[in-house]
Structure 1
């Protein structure tokens, strides 16, 4: 049987080079090093489009998806000045503050059509009752009369959609995360709304009566993989609605995440959502986090936030228009 040094010597004679397998560095207290600033920005969405039948995209499909993303950015840079129709979404004045990514998600080198890998169709496996609950909660977002009824992102409580998670999903911008480790804890700072998750390593779960934003996360190590289980979600965080994904999670849901650093330039992030109240089966996804240069600055959401008065004023006007329509219906002859 060849010994490894002899085998390497023979390979060197043939001109074949052998690279050393990558190994994760370890902190002084023994935990694998996941620290750094990472991004999950990608044009790949949570659910698979009906135009794609497989998880792995072909080369031509990758080009088409990424060209669509370029077109989206260009459309946002050519918005008309003035003369916008009242009552419709006006968006931003250009794409300067939009950073959803420009590339298809690649995991193990494979271009993916969806973040969801299970079920195999890449769709959220709603029960009939769960889908009804989802649409009901979505409808409520159009019937808001008070500041506390607005979406959490508009209120600057947590980020839009499920950006803070778990599961942590990409949105339209601010898709960066900073991981900091210390003995007994892992902290994930989320750029979107400057939220932070504190994961207790080998800790005890909080009492069920305590439901913090982003849930209660407890982790442990399985080799080089950080496994995190999160329960106890805040009830106001059930609807997670953003431009790139919309989903519903009950307060009884449990999310299991797995963080594995597989190279200097990739942190593999896997997750599974179990929620019998909403879904017919557990569903899972996978994202490759990539390192990003630079510092994450504070997302000072409340500073100069004049959106809520405008939102409420517009909803009051919409309500008045509806009342006028109802009065007209009841007082004017219809035939």
Structure 2
């Protein structure tokens, strides 16, 4: 059933992409009450395409290659799944940009690989997402503790649906994410921030260039440099500058591009892109991660059980 859905999806996108260029050229971006390009509403990101590209793969995939790639992702992620009722929600979806199937989010460097320097390689290999231990919740990673989401720039994708709600005023744009409900504010009025005030999300200042929203983000904290992604983590230091471009291509597609400059961890800049897809339901639900975070309790309880077993073994050996 899932593979049939893949074939239908690929066929539909292939047919639609033939006339997509003409459609984009003729599309008129709607304006909001402030005269700005209207991005307001709910937009979703959902794909299994990795951040980096596998060696030897082209950036743009043919429909046949795209199906082979999704089949491989399906086999890798769900190789041990024998329950036909399990919802296979992610591996059949690839990044599409202007009708093209992509093998990676990164479009530069040309090889689609993060240009880490030696410190970047060392830091990216650190098992932050595995946590530092199980003595208490403070040793677990931010994602597991419901305090770190996917909304900090640059935006990233994930196999399950991640929604973002856009709200525009004359001098601000607010973006709220569904996962962990992060709130990001883009300042269109040039508002600045003291250099000493630094956060995980940074400080974003935007401007309009025709139909495109251009956003520059600085003032990052380097307390947690790792940014979760599909594949190796992305690193963002306090020296990082991230430039994003949002362009509405149609009623249902919001094109997103970013460029990261960060000499702390990289030998070169890198760029990525994907599209956010319109969600007409318009609902961004409360994530309620803390209230439903039973896995945290289970992990800590499991650690206590293991400790008790070790103590019992030591006592018996004595």
Superposition TM-score, scaled by structure 2 size: 0.81
Answer yes or no: is the 8 Å Cα contact 1:218–1:230 preserved in 2: yes
Q: Structure 1 residue 42 and structure 2 residue 47: aligned?
A: yes
SS in structure 2 at match of 1:183: coil
Structure 1 unaligned runs (5+)?
1-17, 80-92
Q: Is the 8 A contact 1:134 1:239 kept in 2?
A: yes
SS in 1 for 2:61: coil
- Work out which of the residue numbers 120, 127, 135 in structure 1 matches 2:125: 135
Unaligned runs of 5+ in 2: 1-21
Question: Given the alignment, which residue of 258, 272, 278 partners 1:291?
Answer: 278
SS of equivalent residue, structure 2 residue 298: helix
Partner of 1:187 in structure 2? 174
2:94 maps to which residue? Answer: 104
The separation in 1 between residues aligned to 2:91 and 2:74, in whole angstroms, is 10
Which residue does the alignment assign to 1:271? Answer: 258
Deviates more, 1:246-255 or 1:234-243: 234-243
User: Is the alpha carbon distance of 1:68 and 1:53 closer, same or farther for their aligned partners in structure 2, counting shifts above 3 Å?
Assistant: closer
1:301 alignment partner, one of 277, 285, 289: 289
Q: Quote how far apart the aligned CAs of 1:36 are.
A: 2.1
C-alpha separation between the residues in 1 aligned to 2:225 and 2:124? 9
Q: Closer, same or farther in 2 for the Cα pair 1:94/1:128, shift >3 Å? A: farther
Task: Describe the shift of the 1:234–1:95 C-alpha distance in structure 2 as closer, same or farther (beyond 3 A).
Answer: farther
Match for residue 249 of structure 1?
236
User: For this pair of structures, how many residues does the alignment match?
Assistant: 294
Alignment CA distance shift 1:113-1:193 (3 Å): same
What is the CA-CA distance between 1:73 and the residue it aligns to? Answer: 7.1
| RMSD between aligned residues | 3.0
Assess if the C-alpha contact under 8 Å between 2:148 and 2:180 holds in 1. yes
Q: Deviation of residue 138 (structure 1)?
A: 3.5
Deviations 1:239-294 (A, max 9, x none): 12355552222122111110011111211100011110001111000111111232
Alignment of 1:235 onto 2:235: no
- For residues 109 and 304 of structure 2, what CA distance do their matches in structure 1 show? 42
Inter-CA distance 95–142: structure 2 relative to 1 (3 Å threshold): farther
Q: CA distance change for structure 1 residues 140 and 102 in 2, over 3 Å: closer, same or farther?
A: closer
Equivalent residues of 1:76, 1:95 under 8 A apart: no
**What are the residue-to-residue correspondences of 1:317-332 with 2, within 5 Å?**
none
Helix, strand or coil at the partner of 1:194? coil
